[in-house]
Structure 1
């Protein structure tokens, strides 16, 4: 590792993401190498120059880079102070197969503020490691948009407004408040594509499914607190990972901690 480098890498419990990497490289330069996964890269500080399949490319902070599996590339900083980056490594079958590799080689960078913001949001969720449904929702929209870019569809096709799908998903979430459900399993139950599920629900109810489920869990926690259950017990009863997880969302929604909520 180069002098002063900071690296954090982990495998999240999110199907389709084989590795997450957050790194700061003051001086490191990658030699030519390949990956067996799709590499979704954003730069937070500095800028990166790299050769992909013997052609030079650059990546600035406003862009997203998608490097295909099995294609040689290197990487180095444009600026003397180095660069800071975040990377998602997606399983090779996630974006439609090997026939799209050529499109990624031809055009590996995208100036797409929405896509970059969604990737930033997913990194935040994966860093916390507590919001499974949110991570699944964000990943499916990221993969959809990347696939659209690979197929040279600059604008995503408009969806039919489908309140029926949204209502079915809401009813399913209401039945799974404490246990939760994966986006993939929800899609099977409702018989709709995961990305369509997220969009239809968001349009109908003004929030994504994961936020709705979190709100239901906070409501459930309030009832348990008012019934006299201790906060540590309420976290599990309401479907949160632990008391810290409950506290964060409870305070975000209500402005106070669970303990303050039930004070006389």
Structure 2
């Protein structure tokens, strides 16, 4: 029965990604926020439905999945459902290391951003944040979200790779190769190489055809394959090569190799223990 349908469903957590104070996913069918403020930026995308809200005493409405809502810190706002089906939203609460408070005025003037690329980048970031072992990917996704927001709020355009691209990419690859199990944060790499995070990622992708986080994952998978062939247990392999846990290894290994680590190891044992005539 319709009356038995849950009115509220939420999921919230604090990821280990600098700059993100909270991730909040919710489905509201009957809810109205009172007027309040945040110390953080409220970056929201809708996955379904419509929402009506006031920001600095001016009312706005958003419908569908084609818009991004950005509410600045320290500015009063409320929110409420519009239809009986309510709305589903995903929110990132970003601190002022991601966006400075000086940009709040631009966001108050126009809190609704129609930008398909920005919306897609936010979706990619939310996907990465579901997996705590993918910190470098989440940092990279956040860096590109930040860059796009700056483009809208203060017209900053990204710098394109120049003659320095191959040098930066090569040095970053060497850093990643030396840190395969422990990993490397994007901010640490940017500090060491004295380059802007998104510029560093663009240089790496231009040179090697893939972003740094994908390269690092591939190197970890290569090491995992060698250890599995040496009869290591998948759980031990996962932590040795730098994955968060066995589930994290399983997800990436299956995507790269087409089977789970356990099945891969079992298949390898079957070949190496087979009689000599059967391997000819």
What TM bracket, shorter-length normalisation?
over 0.9
Q: 4+ runs of 1 displaced by more than 3 Å?
A: none
Report how many residues are paired. Answer: 259
What does residue range 1-264 of structure 1 map to in structure 2 within 5 Å?
4-60=7-63, 61-95=65-99, 97-153=100-156, 156-161=157-162, 162-262=165-265, 263=267, 264=270
Which consecutive residues of structure 2, in runs of 5 or more, have no partner in the other structure?
1-5, 271-280
- Look at both structures and tell me which one has the larger radius of gyration over its CA atoms: 2
Q: 1:216 to 1:191 in 2, by over 3 A?
A: same
Q: Secondary structure at the match of 1:188?
A: helix
Distance between the aligned counterparts of 2:186 and 2:96, measured in 1?
20
| Distance in structure 1 (CA, Å) of the matches to 2:158 and 2:186 | 21
TM-score when normalising by structure 1: 0.94
Aligned CA RMSD, in angstroms, stands at 1.4
**Deviation of residue 191 (structure 1)?**
1.5
Scaled by the length of structure 2, what TM-score is found?
A: 0.89
Question: How many Å separate the matches in 1 of 2:62 and 2:121?
Answer: 18
CA distance in 1, matches of 2:257, 2:97: 42
- Separation of aligned partners in 1, 2:194 and 2:96: 25
Gap regions ≥5 residues in structure 1: none
CA shift for structure 1 position 115: 1.0
Deviations 1:64-108 (A, max 9, x none): 11110010111112322100101000012321x222110110111
